[in-house]
Amino acid sequence: MNRYIIGLIAIVFCCSLQAKVVHQERSMYRNIVVEDDNVLRCLRFNVRTSKTNQSCMFKDDPNKLVFNYTKLLFASLLVMEEAPKNILIIGLGGGTMSNALHQIYPEAIIENVEIDPAVIKVAREYFGFFENGSVTSKVQDGRIFIKRAGLKQQKYDWIILDAFNGDYIPEHLLTREFLAEAKQILTPKGVLSSNTFSTSELYAHESATYLDVFGDFFNVTHENNGNRIILTTNFGLPSETIISSRAKELHDTLKPFGVNTIELTTFFTSTKDEKDWPSDTKVLTDQYSPANLLKN
């Protein structure tokens, strides 16, 4: 009996020793912590809660994606007719999404936009965030980048909105006006994927706002933790048969990244079939967007 207890203590002791902070800094926007354990390296924006891991990678296999939500984002590829050529990522995190996409589509232009210069630095130094002629990063507020892109008439066939985390929501990235600006820079076959964490009342407002701008959309969810990918397109939603044939096509390509496309298809739900929020829900606008108050 004692041996078990000692063994247990030894395990706890060893593992708590193993999870060590490799880097910590306070940026203008947040606390940034990089933490290592036996297998994972994780980026955190807040120290207290363990829920706020932004990005993790396997130390021995940096290609393989750790998080379900990053895997869920790949569901977007199942609604695209062809490989994306111009990708815009709002919210860098550890840069894992950008790295993975560059490996899958080396020809694609990938632009990362991140408000916090410290996050870009940490992604480069600790997460192997990769930049070259076709993969770039820019320090800017996502809304401003998209507004300017609209003025310059730039177009993207895939926009990934990953600027939300469980703690704080940039309220100006959740309004009808913003989504309309984003839609405007999508190509006719373009797809917008939004990784969000909305719960309670905000879920309804967010859903109503996306519906208002894009029409029906897909929710891609797996675990019931308030995290969902909202998948919208500029051309309506493709049918189930198209999605499952795309899943088969992409299966082998995405397997090395730990993404099972066949399994992904089972996480789709369409708002065409069910709208699980009250129909009189107020749409969020630049005039009314108390997202962080509605979240509670």
Closer CB to another protein, residue 124 or residue 172? Answer: 172
Closer CB to another protein, residue 43 or residue 115? Answer: 115
Write down the least CB distance from residue 70 to another protein, Å. 24
Closer CB to another protein, residue 157 or residue 162? Answer: 162
Closer CB to another protein, residue 117 or residue 278? Answer: 117
Write down the least CB distance from residue 281 to another protein, Å. 15
Write down the least CB distance from residue 32 to another protein, Å. 15
Catalytic residue among 162, 167, 216, 273: 162
Tell me which residue has tokens 């130094």.
Answer: 125
Write down the least CB distance from residue 290 to another protein, Å. 5
Write down the least CB distance from residue 210 to another protein, Å. 18
Active site residue 216: no
Q: Is residue 98 a contact partner of residue 120, using CB atoms and an 8 Å limit?
A: no
- Interface residue list for another protein (CB under 8 A): 28-29, 115, 140-144, 147-148, 151, 170-172, 175, 177-178, 285-290, 293-294
HEC profile of the chain? CHHHHHHHHHHHHHHHHHCEEEEEEECCCCEEEEEECCCEEEEECCCCCHHHEEEEEECCCCCCECCHHHHHHHHHHHHCCCCCCEEEEECCCCCHHHHHHHHHCCCCEEEEEECCHHHHHHHHHHCCCCCCCCEEEEECCHHHHHHHHHHCCCCEEEEEECCCCCCCCCHHHCCHHHHHHHHHCEEEEEEEEEEECCCHHHHHHHHHHHHHHHCCCEEECCCCCCCEEEEEECCCCCCHHHHHHHHHHHHHHHHHHCCCHHHHHHHEEECCCCCCCCCCCCCCCCCCCCHHHHCC
Annotated catalytic residues are 162
